[in-house]
Structures are given as structure tokens and as C-alpha cells.
Amino acid sequence: MITYNGSDLILAPLAGFGDSGMRSLCFGYGAGLCYTEMVSAKGLYYGNENTAELLKVGKDEKHTGVQLFGSDPEITEEVAGYEELKNFPVIDLNCGCPVPKVYKNGDGSALMKNPELIEKMVKGIKRAAGERLVTVKMRKGVEGKTNVKECALAAQEGGADMVTVHGRTREQMYSGGVDYDIIAEIKSILKIPLCGNGDVFDRRSYLRMKETGADYVMVARGAIGRPYVFAEIKGENPEYSVAELIKKHIEYIRFLPERTIVGTMKKQIAAYVKGIPGQKKIKEKVFAAETLEKLYATIELIGR
């Protein structure tokens, strides 16, 4: 199993959101694996402190995977062997990020232009990983081509333990519908487990994704500000208070420096209060807060 508790639900890597607090909350609501946000292999290799901070794992995290991005097979292999990565039972290679800055460097979804490179990178990470599992996350294709088939097979050939497919091309970003047929096709050709990704926001869309035959289902936007989505997907009716969720989130990341907590929570609180009456005012106060104490004071405004 890729997940720890028999759950088929996975929290996606989410740059700017997938911090230890969000991951801990998602585990509490039933996610079986949560990924870190994408971490630059080069950043770790060259000792960037901000990059290293992304590797901090809280005590309530049950089974967290680290996602690396990069395109130099020697660097990703070396980094996968670092002591700091040994806390992670799963290492993912990002082959899906569409962001121009990442793409132009040949990283993220640019790797899909070169399935042989994907295979080589996975082989290297796998060598360094030892007992740990290696997964690969990709899109339907790049530059208008649907070449996820070649890329998924290359990942499998390299020794990957699971492939995740987001059923959209790089150029689509988030527009257009998810191509469930391509996900089903990839499932039918792979020997390793497949994780389906794209537009899962509730139980209904989860069930739609499961129709592809996907072994696991990944949730990204649906979990931002809504960690309880995992319980909803399981058919439960979770009770929560937004203010309590925010407080819990902060408690989970208390071990981080205050400036990191405040920076992280500004975005998170804005997501938590989405749809709540008076959200505009709350967000203004949240964004103006410079200390944890001031941030705490804004939570009182939420009132539920």
C-alpha cells in the first residue's frame, strides 16, 4: 500500500498550502498519504535554508511523502539519499508543474517532453530511496500532445511504485474538463497502482474518478481551506468550526518560526473563511497582522 491506513485518499502536493498543519488536519479527516509542497532538488543540494524548511514534519503526520522537482538526475538521486529525506516514506517526482518559471528550467511538466529522462530520474531516485516508495506525478501531456502513456510507462520502467495522472495537459492549466478516459487508459496499461487527479471536490466527483479504475484518488483544490473534505468523501458528515480548525492548524505548526507561521496562516485563513459573511473584513485584518498574537485576534472575528 502506498497509503498508511487502507485509505485510498491522497492530499496533493500544494505549493504555498501543503504545510505540516494542513497535512496533519487532512490525516485527521482520513487522508492516507499527504505530500509536501514541491521542494526544489537544487535548492536542497545548494543548501537553501527556505527550501530545507519545507522538509519539517510534525508529530501528528502519519505518512507524508516529499515531492521533489528538478531535471538533473544526478542531483535528484543525491538529494533523495539525504538524511533529511529519510523521514519521508514516499518520494514523488514532479512531472506536472505548469508554472512558466519551473517549465522554462526544464522542470515539472517539461520533463514530459522527455520520457527517457523521466525513466533515468526515477531509476536514480529509486536507487537512493532503498525501502522507501517512489511515485511520479504527471499531466495528460505537454505542448498539445497527449503523451502521458509514454511518460507513465517510462516511470514504471524506472521502478516507480505509483503514477498519478492529472487529466489535463499543461496548456489547459485548470481549464476544460478532466479527461477521465485517458486516466482509465493509463490504468489499463500500468502494472503499478494509479492515482487519479483532477476536480475531486466531494463524494460524487470522487466516485466519478473511481470509475476510471484508479486505485487512489488525489485531492488538491478541494482540500484548501476544507481539510474535512476527506471525511465528506468517505460519506461522513464531519462537524467542524472554522475558528477551531484555524486554531488547530496553528497549533500543529507551532514548532516553526513565528514569521513562517504568520506567513503561512495568512493564506490559509483567507481560504478557511471563503464564503463566510464578513470575509472581506476578516481578510483585510489577517493580511495586516504581523505577529501571531495579532493573527489570533482576527480569529475571534470569525465567530464560527
Ligand X SMILES: Cc1cc2nc3c(=O)[nH]c(=O)nc-3n(C[C@H](O)[C@H](O)[C@H](O)COP(=O)(O)O)c2cc1C
Q: What is the dihedral of CA 223, 229, 234, 238, to 10 degrees?
A: 150
Cβ(160)–Cβ(194) under 8 Å?
no
Q: How far is the CB of 1 from ligand X (least distance, A)?
A: 21
Is the alpha carbon torsion for 239, 4, 11, 41 positive or negative? Answer: positive
Q: How far is the CB of 220 from ligand X (least distance, A)?
A: 3
Q: How far is the CB of 303 from ligand X (least distance, A)?
A: 27
Cβ(113)–Cβ(70) under 8 Å?
no
**Segment 149 to 168, residues that bind ligand X, using CB under 6 A:** 166
Q: How far is the CB of 216 from ligand X (least distance, A)?
A: 13
The catalytic site residues sit at 97
**Segment 188 to 207, residues that bind ligand X, using CB under 6 A:** 197-200
Task: Out of 43, 58, 222, 227, name the contact with ligand X by CB under 6 A.
Answer: 222
- Which is it for strands 64-69 and 90-95: parallel, antiparallel or unpaired? parallel
Cβ(154)–Cβ(115) under 8 Å?
yes
137 binds ligand X (CB under 6 A): yes
Q: Give the binding-site size for ligand X (rule: CB under 6 A).
A: 22
Alpha helices (runs of H) in 174-302, residue ranges in sequence order: 180-189, 203-210, 229-233, 242-252, 258-272, 279-288, 292-299
Q: How far is the CB of 293 from ligand X (least distance, A)?
A: 28
Cβ(65)–Cβ(99) under 8 Å?
no
> Which stretch in 115-123, 128-136, 213-221, 289-297 sits in contact with ligand X by CB under 6 A?
213-221
**Segment 75 to 94, residues that bind ligand X, using CB under 6 A:** 94
**Segment 225 to 284, residues that bind ligand X, using CB under 6 A:** none
Q: Which residue has the cell 460524487?
A: 204
> Which stretch in 185-193, 214-222, 282-290, 294-302 sits in contact with ligand X by CB under 6 A?
214-222
220 binds ligand X (CB under 6 A): yes
14 binds ligand X (CB under 6 A): yes
Which among 6, 5, 10, 287 has a CA at the least distance from the CA of 162?
10
Angle at 124 between CA 123 and CA 127, to 5 degrees: 85
Task: Out of 3, 7, 8, 17, name the contact with ligand X by CB under 6 A.
Answer: 17
Residue ranges that bind ligand X, judged by CB under 6 A:
12-17, 37-38, 67, 94, 96-97, 137, 166, 197-200, 219-222
